[in-house]
Amino acid sequence: MKKLTMTTAFAAAAMIAGSTTTFADDHESHYKDLYELKELHTAFHQAVSHAGVNAATKAQHLAEVLALWTDDGVLVLPNGVTFSGKGTPGTASCAPGSQTLCDLFANISGAFVLGNDWVSLTPIFTESITLLDRHNADIYFQCIYFDVNNNDALKSNVSIGLPGMPGTGRARKVDGHWLFSYVQVGSVAPPTLDVYQ
């Protein structure tokens, strides 16, 4: 009986240790995912800022912003116009009217218009990230665009996702990397900023 009790105690200890390790791994993975989603948010702002300075910069920033999307990514503008799939710069899938993400950024987005030097910022308190599971997340943030060439004039204020509406800004983990997969763009009133004082 003593041997059976000792074996049972070791088995229970092993189960508890295994559960603790699994819990620690899940906890660490959760925060790693949140960090990587914040990095996705940051990378978006970097890709769209200063994108129109010249043709070479535009090409580089276009590649950077497209790299942040899944191949089947979808973006819906406030007027309902939808852009589906990445598209490839220099091909028909990036031509005006092709309705791809490449078309949107290369041919429509004000930040990418040649000659524009816009910077995109976000009030960090507006960011919202919710992990739905290990491969899907809701993400929301604002993009406030300022024109560097025009005394930092406010040019646009849009949101990635709609405030308070889960499912309107989605990211998906693909091959270990978080990417935007579905976004409805909103137009929101800019917060009060100190840049005008």
Q: List pLDDT tens digits, range 154-186.
A: 788 888 999 889 999 999 999 999 999 999 999
CA distance 147 to 156: 9
Contact 62, 53 (CB under 8 A): no
CA distance 85 to 19: 41
Which two three-digit tokens encode residue 2?
């003593």
Mean pLDDT of 25-46: 90
Q: Which of 118, 80, 85 is nearest to 100 (CA)?
A: 85
The hierarchical CATH code for the domain 2-196 is 3.10.450.50
Confidence (pLDDT) at 28: 84
Confidence (pLDDT) at 16: 52
Q: What percent of the chain has pLDDT over 90?
A: 66
Query: pTM surpassing 0.85?
Result: no
Q: List pLDDT tens digits, range 68-81.
A: 999 999 999 999 99
